[in-house]
Structure 1
Amino acid sequence: MTSTDHNRHGPNPPGSSVTCSALSFRWPDGTVVFDGLSLTVGRGRTGLVGANGSGKSTLLGLLAGRLRPAQGSVSAAGTLAHLPQNVTLDTGLRVDEALGIAGRRRALRAIEAGDVSEEHFETVGDDWDVEERALATLGSLGLEGAGLDRAVGELSGGETVLLRLAALLLERPDVLLLDEPTNNLDLFARRRLHEAVDSWRSGVLVVVSHDRELLERVDRIAELRSGSVSWYGGGWSAYQDALATQQEAAERMLRAADADVRRQKRELEETETKLARRRRNSRKMDAQRRAPKIVAGERKRSAQESAGKLRGLHEDRLGAARERREEAEQAVRDDAEIRIGLPSTAVPAGRRVLSLRELRPRYGKLREADLHVHGPERIALVGRNGAGKTTLLRTLAGQAEPRSGHAEVFVPLRFLPQRLDVLDDELSVAANVARVAPGVTDNHIRGQLARFLFKGARAEQPAGTLSGGERLRAALAAMLLAAPAPQLLMLDEPTNNLDLAGVRQLTGALASYEGALLVAGHDLPFLEAVGITRWLLVGEELREIPADEVREALASPGDSAGV
């Protein structure tokens, strides 16, 4: 029996929880995501983590009632609100309409004007301070300037996410589900969301995220892996420590299991050698004694039975040892990293790579930009949402015309946009690479793709079926293996929707890249890890700032804001 029941109780009941029992779910193509999953999430802040494709967003969709399980039940004790990963709001709405309070505001205005109709009082209910609460909630999320009458279309993408979160918080839900809420948020907006999570005291909060700073703020980590959930107390650091301890133990078990398999193989081989020697000796003795055939036959049968039992004993031991090794192998996590050699992407130190002169992009706050890049520099474009980082990259890539000024690129260039739409979803991973690398043999392409962790049949997987992390690896492979090889690589928010393993893999791939790098992003730990040499703050001007001032500059609501 399948049921999805979101019960309504009073505000924040003591027993607030969300539960799934014997939950099974599969996609229309037959792919099984969950098979008999049961868990209960109680009060407090829970971070739900797991590899791309493990089913985190699917689980939130099931808990929120947006997806229906094939079997099992889902229930929430209290009211439930869900912030999906891709937030879209009608740009024609006013802020109060997006917050869901426009009707109550109208009723309040009517009552203040002397209209005492019963319907107005029913609309307001007990929510006489709705405007004050709404403005306070907006302020807590850094949206003080949004007001209640402004059009949603005037807000940036990051502000739209925060506005939707404000609408959910105003509902005072007992259970709040957040799916990758910091994606596409600048550092200022992330801080506001971090503070909202810090201050959560209302009931159950479940957040799916790869944002390490956000995950430090939760009370527990739930890891979704192979269709089941494991629990870890504390935030991200405590989870990492626990994983490291588990990995050490798992690796010790694997080493011991390997040694046991080798020992059992050796003992089986020694037993076979002894049995063969015994058979030869027995035949020799029978020949010398000229024993009757019936006696010799009986001895042979007895020896064969004894040998079979001994051989079977050692084969059973070897089989058991192999099973233990297989279990140990499953416990050891696969942290495969991308390691490739790309000598053709190398840029000599003095070579001109890029020049901007009085460039003014068509959109964003940037009024004028001058920039000169030489050699294999690694440059980060940082700034508030709406400042114009993406527009600047698209202008450099020739995908958008500037209002004025000039941009010149002197080396082969490749641009990886946020949407990763450089791949043809109908083609396989290998075919996508072949499309941008004409003349390169199929064997060479497959050899290189193996280094991007697309080995064997995985290189034949259609691009449209890839998870977020797999799609980025495939797109990156297509970029770096293209002909001519890119000596300037531009990436726009490359870690969005990547799990932590994916971020490590991307970092490793970029460590092998020897050309110039221009990256727009908000993920400061990632930018620091790839060895950024220059930090450029995008606002009304393109301003270089010291590395140790980046966090402070981005966390303050100053001129760098695109608001």
Structure 2
Amino acid sequence: MSPSVSVTCTSLSFAWPDGVPVLTGLDVAFGPGRTGLVGVNGTGKSTLLRLIAGELAPGDGVVRVTGQVGYLPQNVTLDTALRVDQALGIAAQRAALHAIEAGDASEGHFETVGDDWDVEERALATLGELGLGHVGLDRTVGEVSGGESVLLRLAALLLRRPDVLLLDEPTNNLDLYARRRLYAAVTAWPGVLVVVSHDRELLELVDRIADLRSGGITWYGGGFSAYQEALAVEQDAAERMVRVAGADLRRQQRELADAQVKLARRKRYGQKMWENKREPKIVMGARKRAAQESSGKHRILHEEKLAEARERLDEAVEAVRDDDEIRVELPYTAVPPGRGVLTLRDLELAHGARLTGGLDLRGPERVALIGRNGAGKTTLLRTVAGQLAPVSGEATAHVPLRFLPQRLDVLDDELSVVENVARFAPGATGNRIRARLARFLFRGARADRKAGTLSGGERFRAALAALMLAEPAPQLLLLDEPTNNLDMASVRRLTTALESYEGALVVAGHDLPFLRSIGITRWLLMSEGELTETTWEAVADPA
């Protein structure tokens, strides 16, 4: 890979057709190596990748790319009728190769093949590296799972051998096994790679972090852990500056007040002298004018110092990140240790998965439900929630429960945040709902916004608030892939919210750092239609 391969964006600006700006005057360059692009939802990360890939045209500024670009979008859609070789973009070359091997020496076949005589072998090797060795080139896309279709799209990009590879949330909807295949592909990538992700394990593999915030990029060397450490140091320094600037502002305010008192005393003294006419009129007039001029200069000097102190405080406050955390008490969600929460007996699910024997959840257990895509995790959660009827067996919840699906479709888009929460807590007063919503960072007018206008992170917070503030309080909470499409700040907020939750928890997911952070006590594996107990050690190191 040539070291000259790079991506350069100069004075880059972009706004949506309705005029909402996304990027304004952004300057950034990506060189060889792996770059993790992070930032809160809505800062323009995905938009920047699409601008580099040429899918969007900038409103102003220039994007220059040396070399070929490969782009994996966040939402991968492939025609299910396509053969795998068509999805990989090698169908024509493959057909030409087979024709030549069969004795057809037409010039067109040789032109189609070009120099890529080993394309079929490379395709099979690439599929094997991504864990898709079982997927034949003649099968159709409709025969592979959603996670496999993401890896199939990545395989198509790798076969093209682009100089620049852009990945947008590539691990969304990938199971643990598929994620590890993708991690290996990222680690082995030789060129320029820019990945937008909230997956902390993936971000540990990059060479540097580019943090898109407030319309600019800040660079941090190393992977995600190094970025977090550097950020913590920065934030400590920023908070110290806020304290120093605040103290300086208060000192300037005191000095201005003291100066005003002294000036008032001088004015009263001068007035008294004038009234008593103890000095000649011309002398007193000169003294009065000099005093007024001096007091004016003194006042202006102190006001300027005060304004400068306010400006320093504003700058210091701006440097501190607004990472408000959800802080809410949920005492009515508590489940006593040993109390029965959920019973599963000889359960057969709608799409073939089954639980032989029984499974009991007791007390405030925190259960992680893991397994490959398509293993039946979502089906099990929907069955426990009562949305799907089991084919046979028993799934009985002994406490009030709530289910948060991946699609967050528990919200009515036409209702406000307050109105959505009121649907789940019809006995609560409006003031009580607003007071509790403020703890979920929906304060004032934000609580009156319609659910359909919320960003991804806001929508998740609103859905979580609706379920956790429901009446009766849920003592069993079911979460399906809760960190998908959440930025880092939103994941932290979810973690802090779950720290307040005192009931039982069942979480289906593949985000191992998140699962560990919420205090999982049991690990359940769905594999080949069976639900079995496993351990963290087995999950972390499946080999």
Aligned to 2:315, which of 315, 324, 327?
327
- C-alpha distance in 1 between matches for 2:265 and 2:538: 78
Q: CA contact under 8 A between 2:326 and 2:439: conserved in structure 1?
A: yes
Q: CA contact under 8 A between 1:364 and 1:386: conserved in structure 2?
A: no
Aligned to 1:316, which of 297, 304, 311?
304
- Any residues of structure 2 matched to 1:455-466 within 5 Å, and which? 455-466=443-454
- C-alpha distance in 1 between matches for 2:377 and 2:243: 49
* Alignment match, 2:509: 521
* Alignment match, 1:199: 188
* Alignment match, 1:120: 109
Shift of 1:39: 1.5
* Alignment match, 2:148: 159
Q: Please state whether the residue corresponding to 1:486 is helix, strand or coil.
A: coil
Aligned to 1:545, which of 523, 534, 538?
534
Aligned to 2:50, which of 49, 61, 81?
61
- C-alpha distance in 1 between matches for 2:281 and 2:388: 96
Moved more, 346-355 or 518-527: 346-355
* Alignment match, 1:86: 75
- Any residues of structure 2 matched to 1:480-499 within 5 Å, and which? 480-499=468-487
Shift of 1:525: 1.3
Instruction: Render the CA deviation track for 1:352-371: whole Å, top value 9, x for unaligned.
Output: 22111111111254464632
Instruction: Render the CA deviation track for 1:114-146: whole Å, top value 9, x for unaligned.
Output: 111122111111111011100110111111111
Shift of 1:491: 0.2
- Any residues of structure 2 matched to 1:18-417 within 5 Å, and which? 18-201=7-190, 203-290=191-278, 296-363=284-351, 365-366=353-354, 368=356, 370-417=358-405
Pick closer, same or farther for the CA change 1:210–1:288 going to 2, 3 Å.
same
Pick closer, same or farther for the CA change 1:444–1:292 going to 2, 3 Å.
farther
- C-alpha distance in 2 between matches for 1:194 and 1:284: 85
Shift of 1:296: 4.5
Shift of 1:531: 1.1
- C-alpha distance in 1 between matches for 2:116 and 2:356: 48
What letter matches 1:450 in structure 2? A
* Alignment match, 2:465: 477
Shift of 1:499: 1.6
Q: CA contact under 8 A between 2:132 and 2:148: conserved in structure 1?
A: yes
Moved more, 292-301 or 151-160: 292-301
Shift of 1:305: 2.0
Q: Please state whether the residue corresponding to 2:541 is helix, strand or coil.
A: helix
What letter matches 2:146 in structure 1? G
Instruction: Render the CA deviation track for 1:348-388: whole Å, top value 9, x for unaligned.
Output: 22332211111111125446463212222111101112111
Shift of 1:425: 2.1
Cα RMSD of the aligned pairs, angstroms, is 1.7
Q: Please state whether the residue corresponding to 1:144 is helix, strand or coil.
A: coil
Q: CA contact under 8 A between 2:421 and 2:466: conserved in structure 1?
A: yes
Shift of 1:291: 5.1
Q: CA contact under 8 A between 2:249 and 2:310: conserved in structure 1?
A: yes
- C-alpha distance in 1 between matches for 2:339 and 2:165: 53
What letter matches 2:293 in structure 1? E
Q: Please state whether the residue corresponding to 1:115 is helix, strand or coil.
A: coil
Q: CA contact under 8 A between 2:368 and 2:508: conserved in structure 1?
A: yes
Shift of 1:298: 4.4
Pick closer, same or farther for the CA change 1:369–1:527 going to 2, 3 Å.
farther
Q: CA contact under 8 A between 2:417 and 2:451: conserved in structure 1?
A: yes
Q: CA contact under 8 A between 1:352 and 1:375: conserved in structure 2?
A: yes
Q: Please state whether the residue corresponding to 1:224 is helix, strand or coil.
A: strand
Shift of 1:464: 2.2
Q: Please state whether the residue corresponding to 2:533 is helix, strand or coil.
A: strand
Q: CA contact under 8 A between 1:411 and 1:486: conserved in structure 2?
A: yes
Pick closer, same or farther for the CA change 1:68–1:366 going to 2, 3 Å.
farther
Shift of 1:495: 0.8
Shift of 1:13: 4.5
- C-alpha distance in 2 between matches for 1:442 and 1:313: 50
Q: CA contact under 8 A between 1:339 and 1:508: conserved in structure 2?
A: yes
Q: CA contact under 8 A between 2:256 and 2:299: conserved in structure 1?
A: yes
- C-alpha distance in 2 between matches for 1:426 and 1:63: 35
Q: CA contact under 8 A between 1:17 and 1:43: conserved in structure 2?
A: yes
What letter matches 2:125 in structure 1? A
- C-alpha distance in 2 between matches for 1:474 and 1:67: 31
Q: Please state whether the residue corresponding to 1:243 is helix, strand or coil.
A: helix
- C-alpha distance in 2 between matches for 1:305 and 1:490: 73
- C-alpha distance in 2 between matches for 1:39 and 1:223: 11
Structure 2: 5+ residue runs without aligned partners? none
What letter matches 2:438 in structure 1? A
What letter matches 2:442 in structure 1? F
* Alignment match, 1:4: none
Structure 1: 5+ residue runs without aligned partners? 1-11, 557-563
Q: CA contact under 8 A between 1:49 and 1:224: conserved in structure 2?
A: yes
What letter matches 1:350 in structure 2? G
Q: CA contact under 8 A between 1:338 and 1:508: conserved in structure 2?
A: yes
- C-alpha distance in 2 between matches for 1:551 and 1:537: 13
Q: CA contact under 8 A between 2:345 and 2:355: conserved in structure 1?
A: no
Pick closer, same or farther for the CA change 1:369–1:90 going to 2, 3 Å.
farther
Q: CA contact under 8 A between 2:200 and 2:513: conserved in structure 1?
A: no
Q: Percent identity?
A: 69
Q: Please state whether the residue corresponding to 2:346 is helix, strand or coil.
A: strand
- C-alpha distance in 2 between matches for 1:55 and 1:222: 13
What letter matches 1:87 in structure 2? V
